[in-house]
Amino acid sequence: MSINRLAIRTELSTSPRYTENPSPGYPLRKTWRPATEVIRIELLGSLSHRDVALRAVSAACKLVTARPFGPVWNDFQMEVVSAFGEAFNNVVQHGYRGNSEGLIQIDVRISSGRIDIDLSDWGLPFDPKTVPVPDLDRLPENGLGLYIMQSFMDMSYRPGQPNVLTLSKTLRTGREEPEIGRKTEGEE
């Protein structure tokens, strides 16, 4: 709406009396938010911007459910942020090879109980199938990024211009972990 139309509409309307409830002008939904929300962020492919991206994804995790707390949700958020952090690092370090002029576009789609994150970059493509599974018995200091992403989230990758890495996760529902101090079935 243009500012002129808003000004005319404001002049024509009257302010509500103290006993009236102002109508928002649109039907109120019974749901707590739209079915799907999209957050888009564009950052330079630099590790100095990593914290901004991680905070945005962490905050987006809170929109997946009306009750963002408890052990199941905490695990969900930790796994999403960890996998995303590894993906961001890989784009910067491998896709752009330290060229901080490269752009990373992050699209976070949020729906009830689910998060999907697309990282788009215009750097060098890679084939995830060629990355060897790390030897966890040796406790390697690097080479775990792809393993962490695939362990915590569903992952797909499409090379091209742009390359698009998609990470997806559904919040686990159903039987929750027992509360501390509460006996579970079969315990004495």
Using pLDDT thresholds of 50, 70 and 90, give the confidence band for residue 121: very high
pLDDT at site 188: 45
Q: Give the number of other CB atoms < 10 A from CB of residue 13.
A: 10
On whether residue 54 sits in a domain, the answer given is: yes
On whether residue 93 sits in a domain, the answer given is: yes
Q: Does residue 8 surpass a pLDDT of 90?
A: no
Q: Does residue 163 surpass a pLDDT of 70?
A: yes
Q: Does residue 39 surpass a pLDDT of 70?
A: yes
3-state secondary structure of 103: strand
On whether residue 98 sits in a domain, the answer given is: yes
Tell me what the mean pLDDT of segment 93-118 comes to: 91
On whether residue 21 sits in a domain, the answer given is: no
pLDDT at site 167: 96
On whether residue 111 sits in a domain, the answer given is: yes
Q: Does residue 4 surpass a pLDDT of 70?
A: no
On whether residue 13 sits in a domain, the answer given is: no
CATH code for the domain in which residue 159 is found: 3.30.565.10
Interhelix angle 50-61/71-90, nearest 10 degrees: 150
On whether residue 138 sits in a domain, the answer given is: yes
Tell me what the mean pLDDT of segment 136-142 comes to: 64
The number of distinct structural domains making up the chain is: 1
pLDDT at site 22: 47
Percent over 90 (pLDDT), the chain = 49
3-state secondary structure of 107: strand
- d(CA 156, CA 163) in angstroms, rounded, equals 11
Structure tokens at 8: 């005319």
Nearest to 39 by CA among 139, 118, 101, 120: 118
Tell me what the mean pLDDT of segment 156-172 comes to: 95
Domain housing 49: 31-170
pLDDT at site 33: 52
Q: Does residue 11 surpass a pLDDT of 80?
A: no
Using pLDDT thresholds of 50, 70 and 90, give the confidence band for residue 63: very high
pLDDT at site 56: 96
Question: 76-89: per-residue pLDDT in tens?
Answer: 999 999 999 999 99
pLDDT at site 181: 38
On whether residue 16 sits in a domain, the answer given is: no
pLDDT at site 125: 92
